[in-house]
Amino acid sequence: MIRIDINDPNLTLRDRPTNWGTGVWLYNGVLFTGIVYEYFPNTTQFSSESEYVDGILDGRQVEYWPNGKIKDEYFEKYDGVYGSFKEWNEQGVLITHQIYDSNGNLIEVII
């Protein structure tokens, strides 16, 4: 899967309104499918990674703490979270784990 830095000049957001109220990402003028990553300012440490399909959020979304540990991880489509949502503290201890159905409804809280 292609990975693109959010600051890549070939990655652009088409602001045209959509059914879900946001634009779509294009890479070299084509709907983007792949992972967009971002760094914390003035570092080489990832701050986030987001999966897109045809220009919209679709798949694994991850945010990181400045120390490199995962802050949260979830799976998203344009209409909401599905699957699992997990959150960790800065020491890497899992503090939240929730399960969502394919419609984005919370069905179980594990932690």
How many structural domains does the chain have? 1
Residue 36 CB-density burial (10 A; 0-12 exposed, 13-18 middle, 19+ buried)? buried
Per-residue pLDDT tens for 34-60? 999 999 999 999 999 999 999 988 999
The structure's pTM equals 0.88
The pLDDT tens digits of the residues spanning 67-100 come to 999 999 999 887 677 899 999 999 999 999 999 9
DSSP string, 28-43: TTEE--EEEEEE-TTS
Alpha carbon 65 to chain centroid, angstroms? 14
Which domain covers residue 61, as residue numbers?
A: 3-109
Q: Specify the range with the lowest mean pLDDT, choosing from 16-20, 25-29, 75-79.
A: 16-20
